[in-house]
Amino acid sequence: MQLRRGAIKLAGSTEVTAIDQALRAATYSVFHDIHHAACYDRTTGLENRQAFIHRLSAAMACSEGVTGLLAHIHLKAPPEADERMDPRRFDEILKQASTLLQQSLPAPGTLARLDRTSLAWVLPAGDPTDGEAIAHAQHEALSNVSIERTGALSKLRVHIGVVAFGPHGGTAEEHLNRARSLAERVDAAGGYKLDLAEGGGTSSGREEGIDWETHLDHALANESIIPYAQRVTALQSAENLAPLYRIVPRFLRAEEVIAIPLEYEAPRLAPKVRILEHLLLRESIQWMGTHRNHTAQTGAYVFRLSSDSLNDGGVRSITRTFSGSTTRITNKVCVISRWSMWSRRAP
């Protein structure tokens, strides 16, 4: 390497290539470590709760009417052993338990660690009739795990709850809570309980029986908008469209939209909508990058209007132009469009 007039000059292209490869390898290693730390439990190497919820949401979205199985497994040491147990010792027990669970979990099941004493597994497209057999085998295997204490051995107490789930009837969190509640109702000595009736979650939707929060969860898990909700056309009146979120699915024609009532915009729902906006915007940028012969008007535009922006004399409406006709929306809306242009107009 030579320095000339304050500039760095490399000896040759071979050195440039080597440095570039080293930087790429280092960057990949850093991103891999960050991803692994964010998604996996350090002790067991299993997926953590956040990654597992994402996987369960994806399994629900892709089930297409097929029922899957979900289990929550809570491990407890007997009171006399638990009082003096080193947390690191219980981590070792959890690692042993995870090995036994994976041996009895049919493919393509996935096991995860939820917290210090709890594990969970999901079996997409699992036969509900297999739920009891799996729970029984896992309870038998884990109940034989011994816990050493002064002068004696104690057996691990295992509480298992198994539920069936489908594409409707609740969110991933709701189904996991169903399984946890079953595990909590198991006798103190341990055992398992099952609820193999699909869809025990509570629905937050009231229009046409649709659970809007579940649809957003499915959209995020599937990285797409799913066309399940009510469809309206661009020619409907502003009065009908005023209290709605309007989302144009990427696989539908531009005049077909999904309308989500604003009454479901609870604080818990707002973050999911924001994530969805970023997701669609990212996909749209990628789409426009691969369709350079199209104009920007065929891309996606995302406008997020707050209540303040609608009430402070600023933007009073959004006008959508499609096939020579316009639709004006005079209330708070979130607009995501992949194939047509949306623009703001002052009053």
- Write down the residue that tokens 């708070």 correspond to: 332
User: How many alpha carbons fall within 13 Å on the CB side of residue 292?
Assistant: 2
Pair 146, 70: CB distance under 8 Å:
no
pTM above 0.85, yes or no: no
CA pair distance 171, 79, nearest whole angstrom: 35
Residue 264 has pLDDT above 60, yes or no: no
Residue 282 has pLDDT above 80, yes or no: no
State the pLDDT confidence band at 65, using cuts at 50, 70 and 90: low
Residue 228 has pLDDT above 70, yes or no: no
Three-state SS at 244: strand
**49-195, what's its fold?**
Alpha-Beta Plaits (3.30.70)
Residues 164-195: pLDDT tens digits? 887 766 788 888 989 998 898 887 778 888 88
Lowest mean pLDDT among 76-90, 138-152, 320-334: 320-334
**What does the pLDDT read at residue 73?**
95
Residue 116 has pLDDT above 50, yes or no: yes
297 token code pair = 């008007």
Q: Domain locations in the chain? A: 2-29, 49-195, 212-345
**What does the pLDDT read at residue 210?**
36
**What does the pLDDT read at residue 121?**
95
**What does the pLDDT read at residue 58?**
83
Strands 157-165 vs 152-155: parallel, antiparallel or unpaired: unpaired
Query: CB within 8 A of 307, min separation 6: which ones?
Result: 332
303 token code pair = 């406008």
Alpha-carbon torsion 185, 187, 191, 197, what sign? negative
Mean pLDDT of 73-92: 71
Cα 165-168-172 angle, rounded to 5 deg: 60
Supply φ then ψ for residue 117, to 5 degrees.
Answer: -120, 10
CA pair distance 102, 71, nearest whole angstrom: 13
**What does the pLDDT read at residue 32?**
57
Higher pLDDT, 38 or 272: 38
Q: Select from 335, 326, 337, 327 the least CA-distant residue to 299.
A: 337
Residue 105 has pLDDT above 80, yes or no: yes
Pair 235, 327: CB distance under 8 Å:
yes
